């Protein structure tokens, strides 16, 4: 099971890298979304995918799945959610102010010699 997950995560990372290297801001942000999906799935996979009950103590079971990676993922999800929301608003603002969503054109300073 882990092998399948790792291949899928690898594809997510490849897609994310490809998108993050493109010119359009929106594609880059979609890339960061895919990247965080990949990272979160990787956390889940690396914690182990052995079969067990969900980590609830009122479910009587021999084995439970590891609760630590789930807590880590939940933390990482809200953090990346906050950052992505900020990033999207920032992209919207820079589209309004600079008038382009092409990262190649976002260069140059006011003060040049």
Partner 1 sequence: MTNAVIFPIAIPLTTAVILMFCVKSLKAQKMISLVSAGVLIAAGAWLVRLVDHEGMQKLDVGNWPAPFGITLVSDMLSALLVLTTSMIALACLLYSFFTIDSKQASMYYYVFFQFLIVGVNGAFTTGDIFNLFVFYEVMLMSSYALLVHGGTKIQLQETMKYMVINVFSSALFVIAVGYLYAVTGTLNMAHLAVRISQADNTAVLTVICLLFLIVFGLKGALFPFYVWMPGAYSAPPSAVLALFGGLLTKVGVYSILRTFSLIFRQDVGYTHTILAWLAIATVVFGVIGAVAYRDMRQIAIYNIVAAVGVMAFGISLMTEESMEGTIFYLLQDMVMKTALFFIVGAIAYVAGTNQLGRFSGLLGSYPLLSWTVFLSALALSGIPPFSGFIGKALIIRAAFEKGQLLFALVVLLSSLLVLYSVMKIFIQSCWGEARGYEQKRVAPLYVPIVALLSLAVLYGVGAEFVRPYIAQAAATLADPSMYIESVLKE
- Residues in contact with partner 1 by the rule CB under 8 A: 20, 25, 28, 32, 35-36, 38-40, 42-43, 45-48, 68-69, 72, 75-76, 79-80, 82-83, 86-87, 90-91, 93-94, 97-98, 103, 106-107, 109-111, 113
Q: Going by C-beta distance under 8 Å and a sequence separation of 6 or more, which residues neighbour residue 8? A: 41
Q: At what angle do helices 67-98 and 25-46 cross, to 10 degrees?
A: 170
Rounded to a whole number of angstroms, the minimum distance from the CB of residue 14 to partner 1 is 14
Given the complex with partner 1, which of 46 and 60 has the nearer CB atom? 46
CB-CB neighbours of 69 under 10 Å: 18
| Closer of 60 and 110 to partner 1 (Cβ) | 110
Structure tokens at 69: 């990676």
| Residue 20 vs 65, nearer CB to partner 1 | 20
Contact call for residues 100 and 92 (beta carbons, < 8 A):
no
Q: 65 or 72, CB closer to partner 1?
A: 72
**Strands (E) located in 7-106:** none
CB of 70 to partner 1, least distance (A): 12
């Amino acid at each position: 099971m882990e092998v399948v997950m790792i291949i899928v995560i690898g594809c997510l990372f490849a897609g994310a890298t490809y998108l993050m290297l493109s010119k359009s801001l929106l594609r880059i942000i979609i890339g960061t979304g895919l990247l965080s999906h990949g990272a979160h799935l990787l956390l889940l996979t690396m914690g182990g995918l052995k079969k067990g009950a969900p980590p609830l103590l009122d479910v009587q079971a021999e084995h439970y799945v590891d609760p630590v990676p789930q807590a880590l993922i939940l933390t990482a999800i809200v953090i990346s959610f906050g950052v992505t929301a900020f990033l999207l608003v920032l992209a919207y603002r820079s589209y309004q102010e600079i008038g382009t969503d092409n990262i190649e054109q976002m260069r140059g300073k006011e003060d040049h010699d």
